[in-house]
Amino acid sequence: MNNRSKNCIAMLLAGGQGSRLKVLTEENAKPAVPFGGKYRIIDFPLANCVKSDIDTVGILTQYQPFELNSYIGNGQPWGLNRNFGGAFILPPYQRSKKTEWYKGTANAIYQNINFVDRYNPSHVLIISGDHIYKMNYKNMLRYHIEHGADCTIAVLNVSLQEASRFGIMNADADGKIYEFEEKPKKPKSTNASMGVYIFKWDVLRKYLIEDEADDTSSNDFGKNIIPKMLAGGKKLYAYPFDGYWMDVGTIESLWEANMDLLDPNSTFKLNDPKFKIYARNYSVSASRISKAAQVENSLITEGCDIEGHISDSIISTGCTVEKGAYVHKSFIMPGAVIGKNAHIEYAIIGERSIIGPGAKIGSEQDESGKLSISVVGNDRNIERNTVIQAGDVV
Amino acid sequence: MKMFGIIFSNIYDAEMGELTRVRTVASLPFGGRYRQVDFVLSNMVNSDITSVGIITKYNYKSLMDHFGDASDWDLNRKNGGLFIIPPFSSGQTTVYRGKLEALHSALRFLESTDDEYALMCDSTIICNIDYKAVLKSHIASGADITVVANKDSEDTDTSQELVLSTTKDGKVTDLAIDTIPTPDQVMGMGMYIMERTKLIKIIEQSISHGLAHFERDFMQKQFIAGSLKINAYIFDGTVLRNKSISSYFDNNLSLLDRKISGDIFKTERPIYTKVRDEVPSYYAETSTINDCIVADGCVIRGTVENSVIFRGVYIEPGAEVRNCILMQGTRVKKGAKLTNVIADKNVLITDNTTLAGAPTAPYIVTKGLTV
């Protein structure tokens, strides 16, 4: 009926709950968490795929899929409504022999071998849904093909201290990986895995099936598949990436990545007409900035009504900041209302939450250098004059 | 009872001067992120109308660019959808002069649908109206045609407007054109509902009798002859009529009034427009901003007061913008001072340029110009 094939398709691991984001992922998978005023985290890897001419993206998810599902829809906002290909949400499903949740990252792909086979791709790109970065995977794919690699892993050059938090790829001068160390205490190199892999599909397919048969395996790319391929003498290459990349899996990193958007020296440029980030649109009117408002070094999205004082902050779609309110060094998620004379510093305010007049949330950071960001979850109603201390999560 | 929509995109082009030199009035930018036609089209979509024809005459490339596949209005449909109807001219007829002739070019569209009622609208009126209620009123009245009207005591520019006297239940008892309404009269909003089959008959008869204008040649004549029963649906929400450059200028700035914008932008009946994937707007430490409407994708480093700032506008430090409408992609360079200016798309205002218009006659900088 149809024998078409694709050179490369993407499988996006939208994964688990992301419990380190605490209340922000109560009813929402991590990739659907808002970012940067009008985006969700998943918009970044999706935009990367679109920029890289990858038009088929399987999104693997098993936690609170509703929000993500309705957000992705038919993929139209990203131009991923394709006749052959497109965006697909792939939750675990019931099978005739056995039914199970995704046990690990590799198992999630294993359970969707049929999906990948339908596109008969030469290569499969594996990415995750919780990283903020702009990357043209085309360059990586070219590198992968030129080196005749079975697997290419994108790596970031991190500092030696940071290296022990990552999977480290030890490679020789031409990039061939000879050793992989997961979170090494004494790192031998600083090539940290970004969780971006390109595999030859026939090779990966074979390893996924073998790994599934291994009862001792935890079916994880980093822990199982990569070491097995190295042991099996496969050609693994490290592809160096030198742009901005941020894992936004924690409250602090989510806050920091948002603040980076306001840093004129940051290497991450949101506003690049040649590399746009797409998002689902909410049909709100342009923002109104009234006479009483004062706005400094901040981003304000459409649909807002601003009368307060805002500095070094991100105000998302459809927020209200009333008279006398003060918002500093904070990330306000879509639809939140900041009441009169409320005082918000170093905080993340969840979607649609209402902060009562005179409430005080968060405070200036102490000198220890350790961030303590206050967080108000989604749909909260914070009573008038409530005080929420630095680092508290409600 | 199913209704389809017809939108006239060019009828009032002449009133907007320079602003419609390269576009239809329908595609004239309004309110920071919209085109005028978005309002009437969104009203139709929010009233469950799924089939809309837009009648064009010339300069309609901007409209086609704007609509794309119409998915931003949810009108990319198998059954119905959005149709751009280019002008039809055969040997005898030229490109249309009035709405009746315009409708003639839409006959094929009218015949291809089987929705029973036709809603015909101008594209220059900004409001948020539920056409389902208008249809209900039309059916209940038993009239041949229903016209949407409102009380607009402040409007003195009545050119081409219908002025109606009605009974309490909406029956029209007098119909005049181009006159100042008395306090108990209402003014037409260029929105009409008729039965489709009746409309087709009227178009055919009118064309064969050389009639061009819907209001003057058909409605008024038939009404005076006593052969047309007209129902008026009185709309009591906010209505902004963009029929001249000065009203267009005032209406844009009137969106700063919370009552007016709240009446036009309703979360339960949103106004849709083309998605442009702009980033949120950035306000620098050097910015001062008072009473402005600002869309996405802007960078504000200077001073802006009482203005409407469209998508992707860049205002450099030291620039001062007061009482202005700056359309998409305007760049105002250092030290420039603008007062009562309408800058069309992609205008560049160079360093230290001063431009000033009057509130009643704003200074217009045409599309793409460098000043």
**Distance of alpha carbon B127 from its chain centroid, rounded?**
9
Class of B282-365 in CATH? mainly beta
- Is it the case that residue B24 has pLDDT exceeding 90? no
- Is it the case that residue A272 has pLDDT exceeding 80? yes
Residue pair A325/A338 in contact (Cβ under 8 Å)? The answer is: yes
Closest Cα in chain B to A290: B291
- CB atoms A298 and B283 under 8 Å: yes
Both tokens assigned to A143: 């590198």
Question: Which of A277, A300, A310 to probe by mutation at the B interface, max B CB count within 10 Å?
Answer: A300
Which residues in chain A have Cβ-Cβ distances shorter than 8 Å to B271? 283, 285
Residue pair B306/B289 in contact (Cβ under 8 Å)? The answer is: no
What average pLDDT does chain B have? 91
Residues B277-323: tens digit of each pLDDT: 999 999 999 999 999 999 999 999 999 999 999 999 999 999 999 99
Across the interface, which of B31, B272, B290 has its CB nearest the CB of A286? B31
Question: Which of B283, B292, B293, B321 to probe by mutation at the A interface, max A CB count within 10 Å?
Answer: B283
Supply the DSSP string of B260-278, one letter for each residue. HHHHHSBTTBPPP-----P
pLDDT score at B291: 95
**DSSP helix/strand/coil, B255:** coil
- Is it the case that residue A378 has pLDDT exceeding 90? yes
Which residues in chain A have Cβ-Cβ distances shorter than 8 Å to B283? 295-300, 310
Q: Is B51 on the interface with A (CB under 8 A)?
A: no
- CB atoms A283 and B287 under 8 Å: no
**Arch. (CATH architecture) of B3-264:** Alpha-Beta Complex (3.90)
* CA B296/CA B309 separation, integer angstroms: 9
The whole-model pTM stands at 0.92
- Is it the case that residue A64 has pLDDT exceeding 80? no
Partner B, chain A 37-76, Cβ-Cβ below 8 Å: 37-38, 76
- CB atoms B292 and A283 under 8 Å: no
Across the interface, which of A77, A289, A296 has its CB nearest the CB of B294? A289
Tokens 């038939």 map to which residue?
B222
- CB atoms B271 and A288 under 8 Å: no
How far does the CA of residue B43 sit from the closest CA of chain A (Å)? 13
- CB atoms B32 and A76 under 8 Å: no
Cβ neighbour number for residue A141 with a 10 Å cutoff: 21
Spans of all domains in chain B: 3-264, 282-365
* CA B356/CA B322 separation, integer angstroms: 9
State the burial class of residue B90 (Cβ atoms within 10 Å of its Cβ: 0-12, 13-18, 19+).
exposed
| First and final C-alpha spacing in chain B | 54
Q: Is A111 on the interface with B (CB under 8 A)?
A: no
Residues B336-371: tens digit of each pLDDT: 999 999 999 999 999 999 999 998 899 999 999 999
Mean pLDDT value of segment A117-141: 95
Residues A209-245: tens digit of each pLDDT: 999 999 999 999 988 999 999 999 999 999 999 999 9
Output the CA torsion sign for A129, A284, B321, B285: negative
- CB atoms B277 and A37 under 8 Å: no
Across the interface, which of B283, B292, B295 has its CB nearest the CB of A302? B295
Residue pair B35/B295 in contact (Cβ under 8 Å)? The answer is: no
Residues B130-168: tens digit of each pLDDT: 999 999 999 999 999 999 999 976 666 666 689 999 999
Mean pLDDT value of segment A295-317: 97
Residues A23-32: tens digit of each pLDDT: 888 888 888 9
Which residues in chain A have Cβ-Cβ distances shorter than 8 Å to B282? 271, 298-299
- CB atoms A301 and B72 under 8 Å: no
Closest Cα in chain B to A263: B284
pLDDT score at A255: 97
- Is it the case that residue B245 has pLDDT exceeding 80? yes
Residues A150-164: tens digit of each pLDDT: 999 999 999 998 898
Q: Is B68 on the interface with A (CB under 8 A)?
A: no
Which residues in chain A have Cβ-Cβ distances shorter than 8 Å to B289? 289, 293, 295
- Is it the case that residue A380 has pLDDT exceeding 90? yes
pLDDT score at B154: 66
Across the interface, which of B271, B282, B285 has its CB nearest the CB of A285? B271
- CB atoms B281 and A283 under 8 Å: no
pLDDT score at A101: 81
Across the interface, which of A37, A283, A296 has its CB nearest the CB of B270? A283
Q: Is A374 on the interface with B (CB under 8 A)?
A: no
pLDDT score at A296: 96
* CA A309/CA A324 separation, integer angstroms: 7
Contacts of A285 (CB under 8 A, 6+ apart): A302, A303, B31, B32, B33, B255, B261, B264, B265, B271, B293
* CA A28/CA A30 separation, integer angstroms: 6
Q: Residue A56's beta-bridge partner residues?
A: A86
Q: Are strands B240-241 and B162-166 parallel, antiparallel or unpaired?
A: unpaired
Residues A254-268: tens digit of each pLDDT: 999 999 999 999 999
Across the interface, which of B33, B270, B289 has its CB nearest the CB of A295? B289
Output the CA torsion sign for A377, A383, A384, A390: negative
- Is it the case that residue A124 has pLDDT exceeding 90? yes
What average pLDDT does chain A have? 93
Residues B82-116: tens digit of each pLDDT: 999 887 655 455 567 788 888 988 999 999 998 99
Residues B206-244: tens digit of each pLDDT: 888 988 889 999 999 999 999 999 999 999 999 999 988
- CB atoms B277 and A287 under 8 Å: no
pLDDT score at A319: 98
Helical segments of chain B, H only: 36-46, 61-67, 99-105, 107-112, 131-141, 196-208, 221-224, 245-254, 258-264
Contacts of A384 (CB under 8 A, 6+ apart): A339, A356, A357, A358, A359
What is the interface size between A and B, counted as CB pairs within 8 Å? 100
Q: What are the phi and psi torsion angles at B220 (to 5°)?
A: -65, -45
Q: Residue A375's beta-bridge partner residues?
A: A348, A393
Interior CA angle at A87 toward A85 and A92, to 5°?
110
Both tokens assigned to A188: 């031998």
Q: Residue B241's beta-bridge partner residues?
A: B125
- CB atoms B293 and A298 under 8 Å: no
